[in-house]
Structure 1
Amino acid sequence: MSTTTSAAPVESAVPGASLYRAIWRWHFFAGLLVVPFMLNLAITGSLYLFKDEINDSVFAYRNGVVTSRQALAPEKLAEIATAAAPGSAVTSYKDPATPERSAIVTVSGDAGSTLVFINPYSGKVLDTVGSTEEFNYVVKRIHSLALFGGFPNKLTEIAGGFAMVLVVTGIYLWWPRRQTGGVVTVRGTPARRVFWRDLHAVTGAFAGVLIFFLAITGMPWSGYWGSNVQAWLGSHDLGYPTQLWDDVPKSQKVTEDILPVVGWTVEQAPVPLSDIVVAQSNRPTGLNKAVEVAKSAGLTPGFDIALPSDEAGVYSAAIYPDDLSKERMIHIDQYSGKPLVDISYGQYPIFGKAIEWGINVHQGQEFGRVNQFLMFATCLAIVLSCVTGIVMWWKRRPSGRVGVPPPPPQRSVYIGLWTIAVVFALAFPLTGLAILVMIAVDRAIIRTIPPLRRAFA
């Protein structure tokens, strides 16, 4: 992602100068709007990439245990958790991922939802923390700005779309045009603007594809685009295999309502109901049996299991590990112990698989350390692009003015740009709408009101 260093008169003599200026102007406005959001995404994203390392170091006191004798039964751990939070009821249990990990029981009461970390051998409560106050959960919510409400979350969605615009326009601006430097090398020293221009351009050129990938694979989590794509895939049997639910009664709840961690593809999948006829002649099997069924079915250690909330509810067990092939979710009848719905990554339709794969790579999980550090390097590249863009703009801007790149000499170039904006709006409505508003404000307000025209010149 870059801007130009040439003076306006020279640019206007070059063929295609109008298009270059228009794209440069778009790139500038998009960057001006998106920098705070991109910095937030990159910084919080970097933290989330190392969530396991943070849990194993900063929060080792509640996540790590020393193995000793036989572990306590899940139901016993659930009793300990409710005793630690009087007046609460167990909503989910997290099976320890390794013998050296604590068990985590989620309980809910008048005070809200609480995570209780328990040594599975001694039964000692290691820590209690509100579900919405857990460090990595807070980081993730700040990452999307969902912590601050629906509107800020939609701004992040717009920023993700603008990130794609910045990459595409930045590559166009970086593309070699007679210059001998600033393509793969950085000229000058930090005291000169050309140094920051080249560093910005070269960083964007090398990391652009990865930045674009992070932006587009982050879109499924967005409030508007993600939920609409999810609904469309579901209605066309392209998300999760709906036929697996054909022979079981379904509740009004969806999977994301009950499980603490759930895959994007099955978030809106309905939760089955237990067989009430069987309930008349059988007592509930209990958490111990449900955990045993989940393990026997092949769920790898570390899975979450949600408990039934009423007489018709089910036990829902799910695991979403780094290895996508082991991704699994099972709903278990609370009376018979029979799996009602059993779904794995291999059963997803092609679009569901593609999106889950993209999310896994986005989170640095698919290719081990290589994936993790590649995504971390991309986050650093985003920070560097933002910083160099700000410094470059500050060194270029005229005193007392914003220093917006000049408008294109040929006004007809905007016909093509408006067409591109409309097409983008169809693919990413909120970002496309923001682009249309940006062009309209530029054309109808900034350039027609003399004080604004001077301020933005």
Structure 2
Amino acid sequence: MTDTTNGVTLPEAAARRAKASDLYRAVWRWHFFAGLLVLPFMITIAVTGAIYLFRADVDQFVHADFMRVTPVEGQGLAPSRIIEAALAAQPGTAVKFTDPAADNLSTEITVQPESGGRMAVFVNQYTGEVLEVRPDRSTFAWTVRYLHSFRYFGPNPRMLIEIVGGWSILLTLTGIYLWWPRGRKGGVVSVRGTPGRRVFWRDTHAVTGIIAGGFIVFLSVTGMPWSSVWGAKVNQWANGSNFGYPSGLRVDVPMSDEHLDHVAKTSWSLEQARIPETAPPREGMSSIGVDAAAGIFKEMGLHRGYSIALPRQATGVFSGSVYPNDLSQQRVIHLDQYTGQPLLDMSYAEYGPLGRWLEFGINTHMGQTFGALNQIVLLVACIGIVLLAVSAAVMWWKRRPSGSLGVPPLPSDRRAFTGLFIILVIGGIIFPLTGLSLLVMLALDLLWQKLSAARDARAFQS
């Protein structure tokens, strides 16, 4: 039996080998393009992610001068006294009180000045001494987090999260295909040669990739909720018609237009959750105050390290929220500011199924679910990602012909791209921004092919 490829009749076995070679070239070419597009970003994400895994320890080390205090048993000041000290140092309106997660940590008060952005005031809760006044969310860990999510550069660059995430998954899937042994023993789970040889870097890249690939896919998928397009849409879908309040927990109180994420740190699932409103006070009624509110939150068992978003108008509420490493302790409680009655008390157990899975993925992504083991495993994965990028760059440099970009050759039969493009299109539909970037890369590839063909034609004529 025979087959025909590009007009040449070949024996069946040879035809199969030609098709396999064409498919390999097609996959290799797009693996190269995916790496060219995202590896620089993956290095940034891996390095900042590795640091952020240990954010509490890093922040308390870098900012020990104002984050650490000496505990004095039985002398903790009331929240109102701490807020008073903060406002004396930074005039404005106190909008949030953050309870220290441990006795040896300072208390953070968030203040909105009359003009400008919010400020963070760190106060020794035992003496009332103001230790630091700085812009809100400006600590080392917050800076690393904003670099990790590209939020540091404004809202639009955050779209890169979705693009990088989608292409990282493509990079992993095509990498697995290229790694597949096909009867080969070297470079599958072992590294051949020495650092001076290209095969050493090829094997290092392949072996590291097959180990780190699962983590890359997991981190890409669980990082998608922070993307501008995919994340926003899934958040809206996951939260349903009432923006985060699962059915059965809706309360018969008016809802404000304020969202929880605007007033306090919150879980991803509840970023768009609207905050209830307190009924307008009757004549003679006054707010219970932050001290009473903090006491109620403690009596209700809110985990240490909680924050209290303070009411800023007559119909505002005291919103207590906490998101510790233990998912079961995640909780949001809204109190009527005049009666102290809970308007809503919601924990992780009340999230919908999709919300629970998303929060589990995000919590694990941040190194919180399984304690130190979670942090160490993801730290190793981040190191693996950096090694993947470095080995890819060295391998490309050693393979690259002088004066050329070194793009892998086209398959002899362009039909080899069909199956690959179907997969790419499906991925592009799931992740829209990745799909748009795919079209751009496809256009650039076609342009590259035309330029290469024109260059080859000129060289032949000369």
User: Which TM-score tier does this pair reach, normalised by the shorter chain?
Assistant: over 0.9
> 5+ residue gaps in structure 2?
1-13, 457-462
1:289 is aligned with what amino acid? A
Does structure 1 conserve the Cα–Cα contact (< 8 Å) formed by 2:222 and 2:365? yes
Residues 340-355 of structure 1: matches in 2 within 5 Å? 340-355=343-358
- Provide the aligned length of Structure 1 versus Structure 2: 441
**Which residue in the other structure is 2:254 paired with?**
249
**Which residue in the other structure is 1:36 paired with?**
40
Does structure 1 conserve the Cα–Cα contact (< 8 Å) formed by 2:99 and 2:306? yes
Structure 1 residues 79 and 95: CA distance shift in structure 2, 3 A:
same
Structure 1 residues 156 and 364: CA distance shift in structure 2, 3 A:
same
Does structure 2 conserve the Cα–Cα contact (< 8 Å) formed by 1:82 and 1:90? yes
Taking the aligned partners of 1:189 and 1:160, their CA distance within structure 2 comes to 33
**Which residue in the other structure is 1:113 paired with?**
118
1:30 is aligned with what amino acid? A
Taking the aligned partners of 2:220 and 2:244, their CA distance within structure 1 comes to 21
Task: Give 1:279 shift.
Answer: 4.2
**Which residue in the other structure is 1:202 paired with?**
207
Secondary structure at the residue paired with 1:449?
helix
Structure 1 residues 380 and 112: CA distance shift in structure 2, 3 A:
same
Once the two structures are superposed, residues 258-304 of structure 1 have per-residue CA deviations (whole angstroms, 9 ceiling, x without a partner) of 11x1000111011100111x443420011101111111111111101
- Pick from 438, 442, 448: which aligns with 2:450? 448
Residues 354-365 of structure 1: matches in 2 within 5 Å? 354-365=357-368
Structure 1 residues 167 and 314: CA distance shift in structure 2, 3 A:
same
Taking the aligned partners of 1:59 and 1:117, their CA distance within structure 2 comes to 11
1:98 is aligned with what amino acid? A
Taking the aligned partners of 1:452 and 1:105, their CA distance within structure 2 comes to 65
1:108 is aligned with what amino acid? Q
Residues 317-336 of structure 1: matches in 2 within 5 Å? 317-336=320-339
The sequence identity of aligned pairs, in percent, is 46
> 5+ residue gaps in structure 1?
1-9
What TM-score, normalized by structure 2, do the two folds share? 0.92
Once the two structures are superposed, residues 380-420 of structure 1 have per-residue CA deviations (whole angstroms, 9 ceiling, x without a partner) of 11100000000000000000110000111211122222222
Structure number with larger C-alpha Rg: 2
Taking the aligned partners of 2:197 and 2:408, their CA distance within structure 1 comes to 19
**Which residue in the other structure is 2:269 paired with?**
265
**Which residue in the other structure is 2:9 paired with?**
none
Residues 277-292 of structure 1: matches in 2 within 5 Å? 278-292=281-295
Taking the aligned partners of 1:326 and 1:270, their CA distance within structure 2 comes to 21
Taking the aligned partners of 2:101 and 2:256, their CA distance within structure 1 comes to 30
1:267 is aligned with what amino acid? E
Taking the aligned partners of 1:271 and 1:453, their CA distance within structure 2 comes to 63
Greater shift, 162-171 or 53-62, is seen at 53-62
Taking the aligned partners of 2:455 and 2:20, their CA distance within structure 1 comes to 24
Residues 1:102 and 2:102 are matched in the alignment: no
Residues 46-57 of structure 1: matches in 2 within 5 Å? 46-57=50-61
Once the two structures are superposed, residues 332-390 of structure 1 have per-residue CA deviations (whole angstroms, 9 ceiling, x without a partner) of 11111111111100011111000000011101111111000111111111100000000
Residues 1:18 and 2:22 are matched in the alignment: yes
Task: Give 1:451 shift.
Answer: 7.3
Taking the aligned partners of 2:60 and 2:129, their CA distance within structure 1 comes to 19
Does structure 2 conserve the Cα–Cα contact (< 8 Å) formed by 1:238 and 1:351? no
Task: Give 1:452 shift.
Answer: 7.9
Once the two structures are superposed, residues 2-56 of structure 1 have per-residue CA deviations (whole angstroms, 9 ceiling, x without a partner) of xxxxxxxx99945512211111111000100111110110011111111111123
Residues 1:92 and 2:96 are matched in the alignment: yes
Does structure 2 conserve the Cα–Cα contact (< 8 Å) formed by 1:421 and 1:436? no
Residues 31-180 of structure 1: matches in 2 within 5 Å? 31-68=35-72, 69-86=74-91, 88-109=92-113, 110-180=115-185
1:448 is aligned with what amino acid? K
Taking the aligned partners of 2:451 and 2:302, their CA distance within structure 1 comes to 64
Task: Give 1:132 shift.
Answer: 3.9
**Which residue in the other structure is 1:422 paired with?**
425
